[in-house]
Structures are given as C-alpha cells and as structure tokens.
Structure 1
C-alpha cells in the first residue's frame, strides 16, 4: 500500500469534545467523523498536520451557511475576530489533546524531519502540530513558547481577521483578492517563523496577504489545503498567478478534498466520482510540477466527496490517479514524499 501523508485535518476538535474518552476515540473510533487511528491505518495514512483551530460562533458548517453555499452565487461575511484571551484556553485544550494522543504510544508529534521519518518507519503516526489562525499567539515571545511546545506549522489566519492578516470570506464565484495585506505584526510573525523554521501556511489567506508573505519569506511557500481557482472559482482556491509564485519558491499545494472547493459549480454538495479531483491535480501539476503537489484532505472540517468519505477510502483516490495514467512514482510523490521534501526544505534535513 502506498503511504499517504495528509496536509490538514481538524480531528483534534473531536478529541477535545470527547473529553476523557478522547484517547479511546482515537484508538478505536466511534463510527463518526472522517478519521481515527483504525481508519488511518486502513487507508495507509502515515501522518499529517493536526490543526489547532478556534471555532467562530457561526461558521461554514452551520445550517444557515450550508443552505447558502448550496445555491451559488454566495458571499458569506467574514466572522468577527476572536480575542486572544478567548482563543488561548481553546488552543491549550487542543494542544493538550494532541499530547494525550502521543501518550498512547501510537502517535508522535514530529518536530524535525529526521523524527518525522523515524515515526513513519516505526509504524507510529507522525503528527505535525499546526495552528490554523494565530489568535492564540499574543506576541513573538508567545510564538517561541508555542514552538517549544511543538508547533511547527502556522496559518496566520482562518477565514476571519486577526491582528496579523485578513482571511478570505467564503464566496463563489469570486477572486481571493479581497481585503488588505499583512499588518506590521504580521510581518514580524513571518520573519520570526522563518527564524524558527515554522512552516507558514497560505491556505485561508487573502491575495494581498499571500503577496506580502511571498515577498518576505525565505522559506518555500505552502498552501496546505487548497484547490485550483481556474477550475473552481472559490475565494479559498489559488489563482494560476499564485500557483506560479509557489512554484518559483520551491513550494507545494495540498489538494483539498472539500467538495465545495472542488466542484466547478461551487455547490456545497457531495462531489460525485474522481474526475473533478483529477482535473484539479492535472492543473496543479501543470504549473507546480511533480514535486509541488500533495494532498490536504481537510478531514473532520469539510464535506467530503461521496467516494472519499473518510481516511480509509484514500486508496480509492490513489487508484483513480493510477487509472488516469499517473505512474506509481508520481503517486508516491503526491501521496507522501512531496510533503516530507518540503518540510525538509523548510525545517532543515
């Protein structure tokens, strides 16, 4: 079975919600959600980015938002900012939940490329502590503290403003060129992440912020869970110009499995079959090349395609790639090796 390294999941929220049963939810599963240890192993998923994320009072998975997103065109307003003092306890609970999974002996929090490889070789899940939206980080001293706790990947925003940058609203059809760029604090954050070798994630960032990170950062540019705007003109997807900038940096894009970011009509309805996903992959490969495309599922954070309902089904996507004409060497790169390569270039070998 080809190994898979996944660019984004929101599983930790489910662990926190399960309370004391969180480790059992991980070890045994409960038949809900998109992933757990048994389903990751069944799907050949050897690791991934586990997101710390602070929910807004109203979000894209609420009933009202879902109804709106099922009938494009739509443009949802940006949620209100989340104050740091509100965000921090949530973030600590999620970081503690990931540490609790590590104590089961089945998962390691990877903080360097050598450790990541060791975890995979040993049969344990290699988990990267990622933060989606930097609300829990008050200042650069706090960033250093989070780094000491294991943080190795950071998205300055989810789709709402922070003191560092602006996210894109959920809108279709529309350009990601909405709102202003990085703040002064955001520029400091980019520089300090570079110094600490924390990977910067451009998914959810608007185009002005993307441009500012590209101009400032000395690391490969990465969008962990995004798709091609040329096929699905959602604000959350990347234009061909943005893809070329990422390619020029030696960076990477992880294909998001969220149906509404894949479907050409932008509807939040389950995608049927794999043809549209393959069109996105073909387009990304045509600009980024075979070393610049990976997978970024968004498991437990989005509506999945009908044939890709959870982590155990990922081999179906790999088989669709094979049937489409991708050889095994390319599939291995997209499935796993390209993530490890970009992390080595970002963190150091």
Structure 2
C-alpha cells in the first residue's frame, strides 16, 4: 500500500514557535511537546497545511468553564482590542518569515496551487498563511490588503468571540450553533473583499446565522477548515446537516477537526478516543457531503487530539484506520490532499492553473 501525502487544513503551530515566543519550540527540531514541528510533519507524511495566526488576550480568563448536568458551557470570550490584535499578528507574520529563512528551503510560503506542488517536488513543507479571527483588520479593510501582500490566502472571520465583523460561537455542549446575530455590515463588506482578492473564507467558529450570511453573500465555495458534524456531537462548534449540505452544494470542503470534544458523541475532553470513533465521524461527514468535500483539519497545537494519533507523526495511523474501514486509495488521496487543492483552485485568484497532485486534480 502506498504512502499518502497529507495536507492539513488547520494548525496553531506558529503560536508555539521560538521565533514568536521565547518559551516556544524550535519548529526545525523534533520535540515531544505539542503536536507539530518539521521532523514530525515529515514522519507523518504531512507535506503542507494552513498555518494559523491569531490574536489572544494578554491574560486568559480563569474559571470560565461550567460543568452542567448534561455537558459544559464556557463563558463567551470578550472582544479584543483591534490595535493590540494587529501588533500580535504583525509579530506572528514576522516570526513565520524568520522561520522560513532559517529553514533554508525546507519550508515555503505558498500562495498558488502550483506553489504547493512545486514545494512537494523539492520536499519542502508548503505553508498557507491563514488568520483565525479578523480582530486585527480595520473597518476600511486596508490591513486585509497588507496581509494579502504578506501571503494571507485564508481567513476565519471569527474565533469563538465577537468582533467588528460577526459573532463566534461560545464553547458549549450540548448546544445549537444558533447562538446570536449574524454578520455585521462590516462583516458583509469583508466577505465581498475576500471574494475580490481570492482569500478563502473559513466559517469555523462562526455562529449559524453568520454562516448563512456568508452563504448568501459569498461567490466562492463554503469552507470550514476545522469542524465536525453536529448530528454526531452536538457541540456549538459543529455544523448541522443543513450547513453540511450547503457546503456540499457550493463544492466546498469541511476539514475534519481532531479535537476530541468535537469528535466524540459525548463531548468529553478525553484523549482516549479511538481511531474507530474518528473514522465513524469521517464516514458520517462523507455520507452527507461525498468524499470530494471532506478533508483533514487537525487543529494541531490548538486542541486535545486522540492519543492513538498523538501528534503529526501519527497521521498515517489515521489513514490506515480509514483504509481498514473500507476507504479506497483514491478516497484516501482525496481526503488527505486533493480536496484542499481543488477548493484552493476554485477560490484563489492566482490558484486556478492545473497542477500535479497525489491523484487526479
């Protein structure tokens, strides 16, 4: 059986690299901390991914988790100051560029589909710059243009907090994703500007009304870089069948999130979650959307993931579990790689040329 190259739809590794934070990990050196670095990516056949930049408060709130008789609720996160968010994002972009310089050709920032396949040809890790939460973007959207010039090609409108553009879902289980208002007028302008530039819009963390606003406005395929099915696990972070069908109907993609509390039917934060449970969740997504519209969106370095995977080096174990469950080699290539390249090609203004991939593209 052939090895399958893997392109991952979401990770938070940039926030943990030494180039950004003094107590971080050197991404070029194998570590047992966290989930992702270059050596472990190579061990796991991870050839690229969407690498997230995101802003956070200087001091994270404490005692914000409430255990209920059915599950849990987390206090809705406060909005961030846009200027402080912009300073953090500038530092993270600079840190990524420093890392790429240090890597001496082992890592490439990619902005086109052809860039991704060219990186594969020289065994370089292909990094797509993604931003999770638009707090740093000003209302005239000029900073969005600046980030685009830096290589931004994917934007999550919100994290699980409100901002000037829309409302994220608070973390809760069991709960509906219909938790508040939709996009603001500024959010609607942001969607249109992303379409014009060719920046992929990520609806992960967005509440349901915001989702339907994006669906009504966007001319690009609908994409969730890291999410799961609400019918399997009724977390606010997960997508209803109706949302899954809407993504399917636009030829979009859902990146299957490996965060155990969004994968497990009971919503428990328990890393003793078997690969069979993960694969059954993937099978559900495929049953609703088709194999061409389900991919991987691990959330490495941003979530608790199944112990059997452990980190990026364990991704082949997930592929093997899918193979044992009856997924064909063509199915596996689509899930692991081809589906992301297809949706990039449909979205990025400079990404529509044909390119080599694991299989047909």
Task: With the length of structure 1 as denominator, give the TM-score of the two structures.
Answer: 0.95
CA contact (8 A) 2:40 2:311 kept: yes
Q: In the alignment, which residue of structure 2 is the partner of 1:141?
A: 142
User: Is the 1:72–1:267 Cα contact (8 Å) retained in structure 2?
Assistant: no
Deviates more, 1:116-125 or 1:42-51: 116-125
Higher normalized helix content (fraction of residues): 1
- Aligned mates of 1:296, 1:64 — CA distance in 2: 29
**1:192 maps to which residue?**
193
Cα 1:226/1:278, change in 2 over 3 Å: same
Report the CA distance shift for 1:244/1:29 in structure 2 as closer, same or farther (over 3 A): same
Change (3 A) 1:31 1:148: same
Structure 2 residue 297 is matched with structure 1 residue 296:
yes
Match of 1:76 among 74, 77, 80: 74
Q: CA RMSD in A?
A: 1.8
CA separation of 1:180 and 1:291: change in aligned 2, threshold 3 A: same
List alignment gaps of at least 5 residues for structure 2.
353-361
Work out whether residues 120 and 126 of structure 1, in 8 Å CA contact, stay in contact via their aligned partners in 2.
Answer: yes
> Within the alignment, does 1:100 sit opposite 2:101 as a pair?
no
Q: Which residues of 2 match residues 193-212 of structure 1 at below 5 A?
A: 193-212=194-213
Q: How many residues align?
A: 345
Looking at structure 2, the residues matched to 74 and 21 of structure 1 have their Cα atoms a distance apart, in angstroms, of 31
Is the 8 Å Cα contact of residues 19 and 99 (structure 2) preserved in structure 1? Answer: no
Q: Secondary structure at the match of 1:28?
A: coil
Q: Note if 1:53 corresponds to 2:54.
A: yes
Matches within 5 A, 1:1-349: 1-16=3-18, 19=21, 25-56=26-57, 64=63, 68=66, 72-103=70-101, 104=103, 105-138=105-138, 139-347=140-348, 348-349=351-352
Asked if the contact 2:221/2:346 (under 8 Å) is kept, the reply is yes
Over 3 Å counting, the alpha-carbon distance change for 1:47 and 1:315 in structure 2 is same
Cα displacement (A) at 1:325: 0.5
CA–CA distance in structure 2, aligned partners of residues 333 and 123 of structure 1:
20
CA distance in 1, matches of 2:342, 2:203: 18
**8 A contact 2:273–2:306 mirrored in 1:** yes
